[in-house]
A = this chain, B = another copy of it.
């Protein structure tokens, strides 16, 4: 790290005595406290995993509101009233989902109307919206749907344009309760369009800014070792860091926070550290925030007018699937030969029979001929190839499960590398595909420099 960094940052942002922050300390910093309530028997019998609460907790965290508790309860008046009283005894904000369906089982709206001592009145605008919702879909509107336009008089209605159960914002002595339907995309729509902005205005929480750096190719603990000095420096400057691992990928989320108005300064501070990391680890850093590796590779191919094909044995089509999950992939992806049998390796890709006999199908010679065969057959600029034993068992006594050969063929020739990933079939498939995609990314970037 450069010696001048601390001076530079001290000058622009005097928080450098906040060291080694943990998430709980950030929650402490966010003085305003929320609790999240989920209503529904499906969650209590394990039929549905409660993904809404994690989404809401993250969104609140991103605007500087900490979450005390997440509670899932049954769809009964007693449980709802108890949970609200309990949460308001600790928190300033309750965010609720579920229990707002059109059937008689759903009693959340009635219970909240009673709790906040108000009454239900028909909201004409909402009634028109619901009527339009059904007529535009050619569906019959039932009485239960009409009743969804009856809403608590003292609540601010947070419009739901994706369904018929509206969001409701209640206030009581400065405290706030938001009730929303449990369908994830309806709830997310209401929060994105109304809820989050209204929360910022009402509670004026501190600013928290997050950026994510995406890495491929190094495991979490080895990565942590490699960047420990950078991490210490970053924490000494009042920023926090989270490692978010998944098979083949480790995401690094950097968070910075401070009083409102300091957004620009915090962003600069985070960018400084990200750029430093990118200088040190460019081969493994493939993107930021919501990018995907297949998307980044696709953009690079398109930018340079290059095309791609793949030849897959052990990945069995997953590599092509990753590439074609990106809308517009047909602009640069020509196709894949999934060659699961030795005969198809010979027939479709022109791998030599004698090479397979001499080396076995999991070998450097075969993976190179596969890549070259795909490049020739599809006429693409680059071709990627995979062959190995995905597992959990190996059909070849001399090849352990998890042994994978990867190859890349391109204008600068063909190269291959061997990897040993482990025994999990699904993990081997995923990690092989990501590894060879990141290899291609580096190959294209290197070619750019030539």
Contact = CB atoms under 8 A, between A and B. Distances in A.
B57 A44 contact: yes
A378 interface: yes
Query: Which of A43, A48, A317, A321 has the largest number of chain B CB atoms within 10 A?
Result: A317
Given A318-B321, A338-B337, A429-B325, A67 B53 contact: no
Contacts of A335: 337-341, 344, 348
Given A336-B338, A377-B347, A379-B343, A44 B27 contact: yes
A61 to B, nearest CB: 4
Given A320-B316, A336-B336, A344-B378, A45 B71 contact: no
Given A318-B317, A335-B339, A327 B68 contact: no
Nearest to A41: B23
A325 B328 CA distance: 26
Interface stretch (A227-235, A257-265, A388-396, A402-410): A388-396
Contacts of A50: 49-50, 53-54, 70
Interface string A21-61: 01110110000000000000111111111110111111111
A425 B325 contact: yes
Contacts of A339: 335
Given A336-B338, A338-B336, A46 B56 contact: yes
A19 to B, nearest CB: 16
A67 B43 CA distance: 9
A311 to B, nearest CB: 10
Interface string A251-280: 001000000000000000000000000000
Contact of A22 (B83, B105, B334, B379): B105
Given A41-B22, A44-B57, A339-B335, A317 B321 contact: yes
Interface stretch (A72-80, A129-137, A412-420): A72-80
A405 B283 CA distance: 41
A27 B45 contact: yes
B24 A74 contact: yes
Contacts of A317: 312, 317-321, 323-324, 336, 338
A242 interface: yes
A191 to B, nearest CB: 12
A161 to B, nearest CB: 17
A317 B433 CA distance: 12
A128 interface: no
A400 interface: no
A339 to B, nearest CB: 5
15 contacts: A44-B66, A44-B69, A45-B67, A49-B51, A69-B74, A71-B71, A71-B72, A316-B329, A317-B319, A328-B393, A330-B340, A333-B340, A334-B341, A343-B378, A348-B378
Interface of A: 22-24, 26-27, 41-51, 53-61, 66-76, 79, 83, 86, 105, 242, 244, 253, 309-310, 312, 315-321, 323-325, 327-330, 333-341, 343-344, 347-348, 377-379, 390-393, 395, 425-426, 429
8 A-B pairs with the lowest CB-CB distances in the bound complex, closest first: A46-B58, A316-B324, A317-B320, A317-B317, A46-B57, A336-B338, A70-B72, A317-B321
